[in-house]
Amino acid sequence: EVQLLESGGGLVQPGGSLRLSCAASGSTFSSYAMSWVRQAPGKGLEWVSGISVGGSTYYADSVKGRFAISRDNSKNTLYLQMNSLRAEDTAVYYCAKAYDTLTAYLFDYWGQGTPVPVSS
Amino acid sequence: EIVLTQSPGTLSLSPGERATLSCRASQSVSSSYLAWYQQKPGQAPRLLIYGASSRATGIPDRFSGSGSGTDFTLTISRLEPEDFAVYYCQQYSRSPSTFGGGTKVEIK
C-alpha cells in the first residue's frame, strides 16, 4: 500500500516563501511521476506542478516562475518550493502519484493534504 | 487548455436511487483520458474511473463510466449512504491536466 505524507504547510504572509515535502512509502518512488494538486477553500481541484521520472518539470501558468518542484529519489521525497506567495495561493496542497509510467497526470494515490493559508 | 464543465452542480437523491453525472469538455479528450474522482469532506480525492470507463482497484461495480470525445458520464446505479460526496472529472490527455468544477451528490 502506497502512503504519501505531506508536511511543511502553515500560515505565511503575502510575498513569503514555504517549502512543502511529501514523503512516499510502499512503492518504488523513483519509478513514477509525481504532482502537486491544490484545492482552495470550498473550491475544486487545480493541478499545480508535476515532475517526471527523469526530472523534467511542468507548471500551471498560475505558478510558473514562482514555484519549483523537485524530487530526491534517495529519500523517497517530493518537494514544492513556493516563493512570492499570494493570497490566491491559499489552499490545501496535495501530493499525488501517477497511476503508471504512461499516464503522468492520472493519480491513484494522494496524500492527506497540507494547508497553506497566505495572509497578513 | 481543456475546460471541463460538470453538471448538475448539485444532485439531490435518496439512497437506492440512480445518479447520473455529466462532464463536458471544451475540446475532444484524446484516447478517452478522462477520470472520475470522489471526494468526501476533509479527505483527499479517490480515483474511481480512468480511461473513461475502467474502474480503479477496489471500486464497486455500481460505479460505471462512459463516453468519448467531449461528453462523458459517471453513473452510480444504486446510491449507498457512503456515496454521498463530491465527484470531479479530470482530463489527463493534454497538459495542463484540468478538473471539472465538481458535482455534489447530496441526500434528499
Say if CB A13 and CB A117 are below 8 A apart. no
B64, amino acid identity: S
**Closest chain A residue by Cα to residue B99:** A45
All residues of chain B having their beta carbon less than 8 Å from the beta carbon of residue A58 are 95-96
Determine the pLDDT at residue B22.
98
A58–B96: do the CB atoms touch at under 8 Å?
A: yes
Determine the pLDDT at residue A27.
76
pLDDT at residue A103 is higher than 90: no
All residues of chain A having their beta carbon less than 8 Å from the beta carbon of residue B100 are 44
Determine the pLDDT at residue A26.
84
A98: which residues sit within 8 A by CB, 6+ positions away? A32, A33, A34, A35, A104, A105, A106, A107, A108
Q: What is the pLDDT of residues A36-76, one digit of tens each?
A: 999 999 999 999 999 999 999 999 999 999 999 999 999 99
Cell of B92: 489527463
Say if CB B58 and CB B74 are below 8 A apart. no
